Amino acid sequence: MARSLTESEQQLISAMITSAKAADPSRFEAQEVWYQWRQELLGTLDRITVGASCECNKCPSVQLLLDGRVVPAGATQVILQAFISEGIVMLFIDDDVPSYLEIAPNPDVELDLPTQDALIF
């Protein structure tokens, strides 16, 4: 069942969109194009809700829905990534729509949703 983003999730996703590095930085060559793309992503946040949670029971990773619908795997995917002391945070973007927020802990670590201040870019 879908639910709204919590304020913490929204802040974390916003910080990831704004500042996280892309796993494939050659996606856009010009800084202006990256900036515009990030601004368009920020514009989708009010349409994003949360779907299924990760089943590992060790992380707060969640599926992101657009207008209450699952975002299908895209022809183009960008992964924005940042680090936290306990692991890595990745925001998957499929065809220019956020689709999954992955908070991957280091081995043998269980963690809660990190704050945006915990992100290392």
Q: Where are the domains positioned within the chain?
A: 3-118
Say what the pLDDT of residue 51 is: 96
pTM above 0.75, yes or no: yes
Residue position matching structure tokens 């983003």: 5
pLDDT tens, residue by residue, 68-94: 999 999 888 999 999 999 999 999 999
pLDDT tens, residue by residue, 1-56: 789 999 999 999 999 999 999 887 777 777 888 899 999 999 999 999 999 999 98
